[in-house]
Amino acid sequence: MSEEKKDAIDTAKYGIYQKLALVQSVLKAPKNQRNKFGGYNYRSAEDILEAVKPLAIKVGALVTIHDDLVLIGDRYYVKAVVEFHDIDHPEVPAIVTSALAREEEQKKGMDGSQVTGASSSYARKYALNGMFCIDDTKDSDATNDHGKGGGQPEVKKNPVGSAVAAAQAAKPQVNPKYKAVWKAYIDHPANSGLDQQQLKDGFNNLRVSIIGKEKKAADYTDEDWDKLASAIAELADDLPY
């Protein structure tokens, strides 16, 4: 008996939710991508799909994904829709998850198609996260300041998020030059599609690598902020795509 037949399972005896649970229980989608700009690893929608496809075949399932454009208010959002189909029982309705990502009106260093593509990749990643129970956010305890943040309201996690929302949520009023440096960072094409926490972590990693961890941001001089601005400008050609 061949190894392939030996490892085969009778997929027809499982229902669609059992099949999805099986895939969720064994799925491993490591963070194989590296954001050199922010200094951390992450996973993309392509990484998740690469891990899901062979598992879906083994349990007799099919995963499809597509995008729609939806108008909410006066802004367009990319809506990614992931469907999990039961091949053995095609009459059973698919399990569906979706996620939204708003297109920025403009993004420095990116044309219209790149902006749409970045929004699509971001929405697809979070729709896949929802389908296969993948958590890309940190626990609230990891970011909770336990009342030491000067009474600032809690920022709720939102997979739709945008760089603009992240900039508004950060709000560290340290130096008049901070806003210009922070904006240059979040507008960098390499940071397209990152959520609020990833932007914060990447920015903190960058400033520590340039200025050092001994000095707090509140104590930065104009010269320090100029060094950070120069570092961001020099990395303009070091993009992950």
Mean pLDDT across 5-32: 85
Q: How far apart are CA 103 and CA 119, in angstroms?
A: 6
DSSP state string for 179-225: HHHHHHHHTSGGGTT--HHHHHHHHHHHHHHHH-TTS-GGG--HHHH
Mean pLDDT across 136-159: 44
**What pLDDT is recorded for position 147?**
46
Model confidence band, residue 241 (pLDDT cutoffs 50, 70, 90): very low
Q: How far apart are CA 90 and CA 109, in angstroms?
A: 45
Tell me the per-residue pLDDT of 179-215, one tens digit each, with 9 for 90 and over.
Answer: 787 777 777 776 766 677 777 777 887 877 788 877 7
Q: Which residue has the higher pLDDT, 180 or 46?
A: 46
Q: Is the pTM of this model over 0.85?
A: no
Residue 158 backbone phi and psi in degrees, to 5: -145, 110
**What pLDDT is recorded for position 39?**
80
Tokens describing residue 160: 């739709």
Tokens describing residue 68: 């729609």
**What pLDDT is recorded for position 160?**
42
Task: Please report, to the nearest 10 degrees, the dihedral formed by the alpha carbons of residues 125, 129, 132, 138 taken in order.
Answer: 140
Residue 142 DSSP SS3: helix
Domain boundaries, the chain: 10-136, 161-241
Query: Using an 8 Å Cβ cutoff, are 220 and 211 in contact?
Result: yes
Tell me the per-residue pLDDT of 70-124, one tens digit each, with 9 for 90 and over.
Answer: 998 888 899 999 999 999 999 999 999 999 988 666 555 565 677 778 888 889 9
Give the ranges where the chain is alpha helix by DSSP (H).
3-7, 16-26, 45-58, 112-132, 140-143, 163-170, 178-186, 196-211, 222-234
Tokens describing residue 133: 């129970």
